[in-house]
Amino acid sequence: MRSNLKPFLDGVHNLDSVGTAIDLFLRQYQSDRLDRRLGYVAGIITSDGPEKVAANMVRLDRYTEYLRHHQQFPVFACTDIFNDEVFARVEAERLKPEEWLIFWRKILHQGHITDVFLTPRWEISVGAKDEYQTAQTLGLQIHFVDDLGF
């Protein structure tokens, strides 16, 4: 999914344009599939502090790859969208935490995601807790992922 998403992200310059790009990509992606299920993987990234962000991103990526091999439908995570180039273009380090919360709520509200996978320690992540609450509100299928030691 990551490589297919890349061309849609080439012109993004802020979170709104990233959201639009994701919406266009997922709309097209799902139109080619009979099974409309799509999973989003959530977990802790920044809540451990800035020194743990890189390690948490790697950990989230590992859980996402694991789920890709164990689900019958596609899954993605923020790591598929926000590579270093996109992160720099949207000046992500300047964004406030509440801007990220609003961004991911909008992504969930687009209507493409059917399942949310919560990785271990999600309960201490402000963002993942918000995504959990949003998924509940939207009636999405919620899965709690076992700790695999990643």
Distance CA 108, CA 26 (A): 12
Calpha distance 108→57 (Å, rounded): 20
pTM of the model: 0.94
Residue 34 pLDDT more than 90? Answer: no
The 3-state secondary structure of 1-36, one letter per residue: CHHHHHHHHCCCCCHHHHHHHHHHHHHHHHHCCCCC
| pLDDT tier for residue 99 given thresholds of 50, 70 and 90 | very high
Nearest to 77 by CA among 89, 87, 65, 88: 65
Q: Can you give the pLDDT at residue 37?
A: 95
**CA–CA separation, 124 and 97 (whole Å):** 14
Nearest to 42 by CA among 52, 56, 28, 29: 56
Which residue ranges form the domains of the chain, and what is each CATH number?
2-144 (3.40.50.10400)
Q: Can you tell me the mean pLDDT for 33-57?
A: 93
Nearest C-alpha neighbor of 70 from the set 30, 27, 28, 115: 115
**pLDDT tens figures, 100-121:** 999 999 999 999 999 999 999 9
Cα-Cα-Cα-Cα torsion 111, 100, 6, 28, nearest 10 degrees, comes to: 10
Distance of CA 125 to the CA centre of its chain: 14
Contact (Cβ atoms closer than 8 angstroms) between residue 67 and residue 41: yes
